Amino acid sequence: MITVALDTNVLAYAEETNGPVLQRRVLAIVEKLLPEGTVVPAQALGELFNVLVKKAQWQAAEAAAAVTAWGDTFPVVETSPDVMLAAIELTQQHQLGIWDAVILASAAEAHARLLLSEDLQDGFTWRGVTVVNPFASKRHPLLAAIVNG
């Protein structure tokens, strides 16, 4: 089974922070993901809360409920000391921002093959995890296989 990790922007779009068109596109993918084959980095949940409260102007309780629902739907990957050290290595070797690096390192810790993200470089691979833009015109073959059953 292919494990997929979800970045903050995918979660935020699913919550309709960028309009119904992007929400439908994301949900068409997310609804095909199996809970046992999908993970959410803890960092992404924290960032989602911040996006929902600050950008989307949700009430904190409403944002907390959305974050909890994601955590109840998919396993959450903790930001362990090993994840943080790997993220620091990523920032040094590949000039990623630390919080993006934490998400990618979390995905690697969970043995994910794909990290769905619009923010990171599409196609970038690190420790077996490939960043895949779910909105790219040409879908990555592994993501296509998941979505198409």
Confidence (pTM): 0.95
- Range of 96's domain? 4-147
The CATH number given to whatever domain includes residue 115 is 3.40.50.1010
Answer whether residue 148 shows pLDDT above 90.
no
123-137 per-position pLDDT tens digit: 999 999 999 999 898
The amino acid present at 23, given as its one-letter code, is Q
Higher pLDDT, 108 or 1: 108
Looking at the predicted structure, is the pLDDT value of residue 149 above 80? no
Token pair for 125: 């691979």
Residue-wise pLDDT tens digits, 16-52: 999 999 999 999 999 999 999 999 999 999 999 999 9
For residue 91, the model assigns a pLDDT of: 96
pLDDT-based confidence at residue 146 (cuts at 50, 70, 90):
confident
